[in-house]
Amino acid sequence: MVALTDDIKKVLSLTDLVLLDIKHIDDEKCKELVGFSNKLELTFARYLSDHDIPIWIRQVLVPGYTDDEQDLLKLKDFIASLKTVKKIELLSYHDMGKFKWKKLGLDYALENVRNANFEDVEKAKKILDIR
């Protein structure tokens, strides 16, 4: 990720809405899942909120990775601390792109992860208190 440069801040001052994916609210679990810390994305969310830039928070719901109740409660608390969140979207994990990895001869890290289903999403929505 890139630090907030003056050029980025200028673009953000002209921005009507930012769609922000939070890969995982827990820093260590985020590193395990995607190989990077979540510190910059959470700092970015705080910057957007502090500068009155509307945000849609998005998180992929990956069974066994991003659906833990305590993690979702931490996400809920973080989102509640932001003043410009207009929408929260849960995106159901699916493995439709798995064939691309195999075609490239790469291991698919989520090989044994099932697709998120309606019940998974509804449970997470209830925890996050979203409709």
Is it the case that residue 1 has pLDDT exceeding 60? no
Residue 4: pLDDT band by 50, 70, 90 thresholds?
A: confident
Is it the case that residue 52 has pLDDT exceeding 80? yes
Question: What domains can you pick out in the chain, each with its CATH number?
Answer: 6-128 (3.20.20.70)
Amino acid residing at 29 = K
More confident residue, 50 or 131: 50
N- to C-terminal Cα distance for the chain? 31
Phi and psi dihedrals of 64, rounded to 5? 85, -5
**Tens digits of residue pLDDT in 53-84:** 999 999 999 999 999 999 999 999 999 999 99
- State residue 109's pLDDT score: 86
Task: Please tell me the pTM assigned to this model.
Answer: 0.89
**Tens digits of residue pLDDT in 28-44:** 999 998 899 999 999 99
What is d(CA 5, CA 64) in angstroms, rounded to the nearest whole number? Answer: 36
What is d(CA 115, CA 107) in angstroms, rounded to the nearest whole number? Answer: 18
| Nearest of 25, 13, 35 to residue 70 by alpha carbon | 25
Residue 2: pLDDT band by 50, 70, 90 thresholds?
A: low
* Coil/strand/helix, residue 58: strand
